[in-house]
Structure formats: structure tokens, C-alpha cells
Amino acid sequence: MNKPNEGKAAIKHIESDYDKEIVLVSDFSAFDMKKAPLYDAVILDFTDKKGCLELLKTIRSSFIESIYLLPIFVLSIIEIKDDEIGQLSDGVINNIQTDSINSFIEKVKVKRKQLKPFTPSPEIDKNLIKLLRFSFTREKSLLPVKDRHSVIGYKYPLINLALDSKDAGAEMKAITKAVEEGFFSAKFIDRMHLCGKCYSGFLNYKEVDPETGDAHLETENIIHHFSCAYMGPESDFVREDKLICPKCTKTLRHIGVDYDKPSVMYHSIESDRYFQDPEMKVECLNCGHINDIEGLVQYDLFELSLTDEGIDEAIQPTGSQSAADTVYSGYITYATFGTFLRFEIERVKSSQKNSSIGLLRPGITSEIENDLGHQYQKLIEEISAFVVNNTTASHILSRSVNSFFILMPETPLDKCNMAMEKMKKSLKTLLENNVKDHDIEVHASVREITPNSEYQSVLNDLRAGILKD
């Protein structure tokens, strides 16, 4: 038999005090993907960097849960400065400690047990479910990493695996959708400016002649001769090592005394044109499109952390009944709510009258939901109707799984807080009357909308407020 790695087993079982199949992989060509679900954890030897990253990507790009959720560590004695490995693996280790590997395996196992099976359907975005489930089992946020091979210049490694890396729009759409549906909260990392035609971040900013579009320019000082008032480019004055005025032929002496340099002029080398203000153009090095500055697409990069809605969706995908698509009577979709909130912030800026926003959430865990069975849906509908009946027509409502968002225009924070506390109390009573076997907490949080509010952070703060409640 042909052994690829003489003297060193390609795949080595690691002895431990636990009944776990932990393997160290040194020769990546020997790894059999069909066996992956049999392992409890895999350790990849970083000696072969390329092979290591390739196998890591192959495992994580699978859509089979027992493969892509496999705990994977990267073994390296040297420090690895590779954010992609950081995002796709479960950690870089410099020695094998089976104790900590075992506790990680157990932690993931507990989380995986909560995941409910779902039937794949065209309405279910399996890539999104994968992101949610990976993030949930790891309690790990998704971070964009710099990548010069990606069109944008950045990528979210796990999201990118399933998409065509040349199609930057697909990744942007996937992220925007996941955030708008409320599955992830988004923390600002950086702002990119991308080509308006192909979303490439590989751009060349240049000053050009506004007439010809030519970038071959030089700048020249303009000289103003005080005594005769003549103004012209410096080259008109240069005579050997002196400056002599072309109009009055006097020699220029001291800058600030008999002449000065009030501004610069641009000179287009090819056409020999002089002009004052060049134009800024941005050429896309990917598709060749010449963008105006205003034509660039602004794209924000976020750290994506799972929200409670995201956890619910990870555990039990709702598919076609997905939170954002379902329109409940009296409610607008979460995405439309986001738009309303943005308008409201603009309105507050001009009216200077602050508004408020509240979030109400019955603490129905997946265990309680399981227990309630068919009764759950009925209960949620009842809560839904309760919120509608306890708000006024001027309030804007959105419902996402069992989170109820209430936008109260021109309502001061203390008034909003009072209304929310009242609702929280009544809802608690409603739940006590309807669910005998469980004690369901009701959480509420409120935020003020000021001219300085930013809509995404308002929503994030609201959710964070619930966690502290």
C-alpha cells in the first residue's frame, strides 16, 4: 500500500480520558468526508497551511449538519494571523488538551440537541439556517474578514462558502435579509465604498480633466504680481533661475512682499489645457466602470450576533412562515418597521419632538413552546390581539416571532415607559390565566428616539434592554 506520510499516521486517534473519537489530521488527502460524522472532534495540523484551510472550508461548506457542525481545531505551534481560520474553526491550539476539547464537544452537543428537524422546502433558506445553527451552537458572532480575492475586499467566511465569490451582491443581500428579519443584531465594523455597477471594492480614485477625462495632470502654482496685477502660471515667470513677470518684465523678489501664490492650477499634459477644478472619478478595476463619487455604493460591515429571534429560528426554522414575511393583522413586517423607524428619526430631526419605541416579549422558551403544543399558536395570537387592543391607532406595531415592537411617535420616554409597564403587567395576568403549568416572564424595554438616533442601534439597544430586564 502506498503510504503518503511515512512514519506519521495521516489520521491519528487521540487518546483521552473521555469516550470520544478525537482525531488529528496531518495528511489532508487521506481525510474521508463520509467518515466525518463519526468523529467527535477533528484537529487539523497547520503544517500544511493550504491543505488545512481547504479541508476546513470543505467541511464547513457541507449542508449536512453532522458535518458542518463538527468541532474543528487547528493545531499550530506558531501564531496564526488568519481571521478566516479564526471564523471557520473552533480555535487555534498550540498543544492538544483533551480536557478543554472534551468540554467544547459537550457544549456543542447540548446545543445541537435543542435543534429540531425541519423539512427542506423552497421557502427555507438553508444557507441562512446553517449560519444560525453554527452561530447558535458556538455562541459565536459572525465577523467579516479582509480578503483581497473577494470582490468587496471583505467577506464573511461562513456566508461566503455557499455563494459564488464573484457575485458580491449575493453576499450583501443574504446579510441584509438576515439582519432585516431580526435574526442578527448588527454592530458597525467598517464602511466600504463599492463600484455602483458590480459592487467591487477594488477602486482607483483619481483627479481628471473635467473636459477630457484625462488623469495625466500636473499642478502648478499661480503667481500674482502685485505691481502690475498680472496673474499666471509659475512657468510663465521662470527665466533660468529667476522669476520675471511676463507682463511688466520686472524681477520678482520676495514672496508676500511683491508677489504671492494665491492658488494652484491644473495642467493637462496631453491636451495642454489649464483649469482650476479637476473632477474626482473612481474607476472600477474589476469591471472598468467609471463612477462618480456619488455613484459609489455605501456598504457597511457588521459583526453579526444572534438575537432571540435568531435563536428561535435556529432551533425551529419557520420557513415560509418566516417572521418578516408574515403579515399579522394590525402589524407591519419587521423590514417595513425598520423603514418606518428611519423615517421617524428623520421626522424627529426636523420637529425636535422626541418619539419613543418599546419592545414587549413574553419569555416563552422552546421547552414551554414544546409543552404547549397546538396551544402555543393560539396563545401567541391572543398576545398579538392584546397588544393591538392596548395601543392606539397612532402607534406602529411590528411582530417578529414573539417580540412585539411598538413605535410611539411624539411620545416622551416616561410616557412610553408607563404605557409599557402597564401592558407588561396586564400581559402577565393574561399569561397566568391562559398557561397554568408554566410561569412565563414578560420582558419590556423602551428607548427614546432623538435626532441623533441611528435606527439599527435603537433596535439593538432595545433587544439588549430585554436581556438586562
- Which residues of the shown chain bind Zn ion in the complex (CB under 5 A)? 195, 197-198, 200, 225, 228, 230, 245, 247-248, 284, 286-287, 289
**Measured from the CB atom, is 38 or 280 closer to Zn ion?**
280
CA distance 324 to 337: 10
Say if CB 49 and CB 37 are below 8 A apart: no
Beta carbons within 8 Å of 130's beta carbon, 6+ residues apart: 63, 68, 158, 162
**Measured from the CB atom, is 198 or 357 closer to Zn ion?**
198
Q: Tell me how far, at minimum, the Cβ of 247 lies from Zn ion, in Å.
A: 5
**Measured from the CB atom, is 18 or 230 closer to Zn ion?**
230
**Measured from the CB atom, is 30 or 285 closer to Zn ion?**
285
CA distance 251 to 241: 11
Counting every residue written for the chain, the total comes to: 469
Of all helices (H) and strands (E), which one includes residue 279?
strand 279-284
**Measured from the CB atom, is 132 or 245 closer to Zn ion?**
245
Q: Tell me how far, at minimum, the Cβ of 182 lies from Zn ion, in Å.
A: 32
Longest dimension (CA), the chain: 103
| Of 446, 343, 331, 464, nearest in space to 386 by CA | 331
DSSP letter string, 17-56? SSS--EEEES-GGG--GGGGGG-SEEEEETTSHHHHHHHH
Q: Tell me how far, at minimum, the Cβ of 356 lies from Zn ion, in Å.
A: 43
CA distance 366 to 230: 83
**Measured from the CB atom, is 286 or 402 closer to Zn ion?**
286
Q: Tell me how far, at minimum, the Cβ of 152 lies from Zn ion, in Å.
A: 11
Q: Tell me how far, at minimum, the Cβ of 196 lies from Zn ion, in Å.
A: 8
**Measured from the CB atom, is 215 or 231 closer to Zn ion?**
231
**Measured from the CB atom, is 82 or 171 closer to Zn ion?**
171
Say if CB 316 and CB 332 are below 8 A apart: no
CB half-sphere exposure, 164, CA atoms < 13 A: 4
Q: Tell me how far, at minimum, the Cβ of 231 lies from Zn ion, in Å.
A: 10
Q: Tell me how far, at minimum, the Cβ of 272 lies from Zn ion, in Å.
A: 24
Beta carbons within 8 Å of 174's beta carbon, 6+ residues apart: 125, 127, 128, 159, 163
Q: Tell me how far, at minimum, the Cβ of 342 lies from Zn ion, in Å.
A: 28
Q: Report helix, strand or coil for 288.
A: coil
